[in-house]
Amino acid sequence: MTGTALAAEIERINPAGMTQPTGYTHLVKHGDTLYIAGQVGLDGDGNIVGEGDIAAQFRQAMENLKIILASEGADFSDVVKTTIYTTSIEEFRKTAAIRTEYFGSQAPANTLVQIERLARPALMVEIEAIAITHD
């Protein structure tokens, strides 16, 4: 398969209800696989939700993931891998119950990384995901 043929099978999607980014796409779809860009505590207008509150930011990031998944008829049970970046693992521990609300007993493979900062200094957590749909 040539590069051009492969590119034709790749969809780049910015679902309604999400910020409309420049320089990246919220969702890249290839076949049944969804690659979801890192989601943070921003609402659809680009405002930070829960400044200084990692639990509120985490919940908003999960709500953003929910919107993106739903745009392709998927849900959290379709998520197979997440990577979570946080500015404080100690603070991140406050989000365990929220994570369970969304994933239940079907937790995906996960990598957790503490970093110095995210794209905006007030952001405390970012979640990227890979999901497999069942079209």
Dist. CA 73–CA 76, nearest whole Å: 11
Q: Where are the strands (E) in 1-135, listed by range?
A: 10-13, 27-30, 33-39, 79-86, 109-114, 125-132
Helix pair 54-70, 96-103: axis angle to 10 deg: 20
Find out if CATH 3.40.640.10 is the number for domain 3-132.
no
Dist. CA 47–CA 127, nearest whole Å: 17
Give the pLDDT confidence score for residue 5 in this predicted structure: 58
Dist. CA 96–CA 119, nearest whole Å: 23
Local confidence band at 130 (pLDDT 50, 70, 90 cut-offs): very high
Domain boundaries, the chain: 3-132
Give the pLDDT confidence score for residue 134 in this predicted structure: 81
What confidence tens digit (pLDDT) does each residue in 72-100 have?
999 999 999 999 999 999 999 999 999 99
What confidence tens digit (pLDDT) does each residue in 14-28 have?
999 998 888 999 999
